[in-house]
Amino acid sequence: MAGSVKPASMKPGERDALIVIDMQNDFCPGGALAVGEGDRIVPLINRIAGAFAHVVLTQDWHPPGHRSFASAHPGRKPFDTVEFPYGPQTLWPDHCVQGTAGAAFHAGLEVGHAELVLRKGYRTGIDSYSAFFENDRQTPTGLAGYLRERGLTRLHFVGLATDFCVQYSALDARRAGFDAIVVAEACRGIDLGGSLAQAWAAMNAAGVVRLDDAAALAA
């Protein structure tokens, strides 16, 4: 279903789920790993969520001392890249530590009807951008099975960050056989060394639909 999609076909139904990626304080301005304008998308996400019967939230949820933190690597700085057993890994400022205010969802998020909160990144040695697989690309989170068992086959992604957790989630959704739509206006990116443009190119190549008209969902 790559390419342009008629707004009428976008209206969410019983096979549609909205996946809200990592709308947490640490990814919003003032947070430890702030994404530019990360908080600006909250009202739009609330409006979009209102059109969906089925909403899933993901929550980045790291133990203290997580290996993706630059602070766990003496001599390294945030945004350096290092080799992990599973390949290159970007190092981040300490963020979304389990139980902290930074790991909490943005207070303006109005998604009380969300049916699942999927936590990820809780294994000390493995980061997890994707909502489906950890960064070793082998350890599943269980989300694909959950969605399949519930007959939720068309997934719409919003949240943070476009070029990391949103991108990895949408690409894995396609690999797992789901339809995947990213609502561009309802995401914001980190953009490290061109990563945002690369993310859109990779998503396009994988058949992820970029939806620019978020209003089409609620129409």
- Give the active site residues: 22, 120, 165
* Stated length of the chain: 219
Identify which of residues 164 and 178 has a Cβ nearer to ligand VGL in the complex.
Answer: 164
Q: Which residues pair with 188 in a beta bridge?
A: 160
Smallest distance from the beta carbon of 11 to ligand VGL, in angstroms?
28
Smallest distance from the beta carbon of 163 to ligand VGL, in angstroms?
8
Site string for ligand VGL, 96-125 (x = CB under 6 A): ------------------------------
Tell me the residue ranges of DSSP E strands in the chain: 16-21, 55-60, 81-84, 87-90, 116-120, 154-160, 179-188, 209-211
Handedness of CA 163, 54, 144, 10 (dihedral sign): negative
Distance CA 160, CA 63 (A): 20
Q: Which does 157 bind (CB under 5 to 8 A by kind): ligand VGL, Zn ion, none?
A: none
- Structure tokens, 165: 């957790």
Among 10, 19, 144, 160, binds ligand VGL (CB under 6 A): 160
Smallest distance from the beta carbon of 189 to Zn ion, in angstroms?
15
- Structure tokens, 85: 């057993």
60 near ligand VGL, rule: CB under 6 A? yes
Please give the residue ranges that form the binding site for ligand VGL (CB under 6 A).
Answer: 22, 27, 60, 92, 129, 160-161, 164-165
